[in-house]
Amino acid sequence: MVVCASHSPLMHGRSDVGQVFRAGLDRVREDVRRFGPELVVFFGPDHRRAFTDTVPAITVVESAHGYGDWGTVEEAYRVPSDHARSLATALMAARFDVAVANRLPLDHGFGQTATQLFGSLSAVPILPVVINCVARPLPGLARVADLGRAVDAHVRTIGCRVLYVASGGLSHAPPSLAPTVQTLSEEQRRRLIETGLAAAAERIAPDWDERFLRLLGTGDLDQLARMDDDDIEVAGNGAHEVRTWVAAAAAGGVPVPTVAYEPVPEWITGMAVASAHG
């Protein structure tokens, strides 16, 4: 099974908007409950919290906890460290140069969607894979698609019921992800986003979002893989997080149709959830 979902830190405390997205997420959460995953492989981004000066292209996480930003929880993830180590070894053998991290603080790019789907960070075994979506040079979409396929090839040897999750995107351009911004306190991040809210809301690109979702829904990863950084940047610096969606879709090996989509200016993001049973 594959689930891809947008996140936005501005969702916290704003239950009056985004009802289409929320309803879609509710439907997917029930599908996940019925599926009953034995292992969740979670592809997500980092927003220059865990990684600041040095940003690996791909990181397999052996142990992690919630960063606690924007109202997200700080509890420990239930990471199956033996599976994480074996995955990292398999990816290296498949010619992916991966970093391996312990005690990694994962921010809302993981914690928000994980909590929405499972209720807590420790409810199910989660194996986080961090993809660099913010610090150029970025791994290309073809590369992250190959990453997803390599992850699935290894997970199949484990022999468990696996759920692939991606969190990120779609179109958005938060000022806190500007290339000139690297290390900020949480208060500085909040002020920067809140003061630039109106300008950031104007960067939502529904046409771009819908084209991306259409290709994902038809399973046309080859066409998606031909998109370069400039093709993505037109939808905002935060749109680079769709790398996580491409990795999860490739891992699942099936088209991933849209469950719900709506632009939410209050969250400065084109919000979508997509899901498929493999």
The tens digit of pLDDT for each residue in 161-187 reads 999 999 999 999 876 666 655 566 666
pLDDT band at residue 16, thresholds of 50, 70 and 90? confident
Q: Which domain holds residue 220?
A: 2-276
pLDDT at 231: 97
Cα–Cα distance measured from residue 214 to residue 225, given in angstroms and rounded to the nearest whole number: 14
* CB contact set of 185 (below 8 Å; sequence gap of 6+): none
pLDDT at 264: 96
| Residues of the chain above pLDDT 70, percent | 90
Residue 126 has pLDDT above 90, yes or no: yes
The tens digit of pLDDT for each residue in 45-56 reads 998 888 988 999
Q: For residue 214, how far is the Cα from the chain centroid?
A: 18
* Average pLDDT for the chain: 92
Which residues are the active-site residues? 108, 172
Residue 198 has pLDDT above 70, yes or no: no
**Domain total in the chain:** 1
Q: Identify the CATH number of the domain in which residue 140 sits.
A: 3.40.830.10
Residue 2 has pLDDT above 70, yes or no: yes
Strand partners, 271: 262
Strand partners, 106: 66
pLDDT at 179: 61
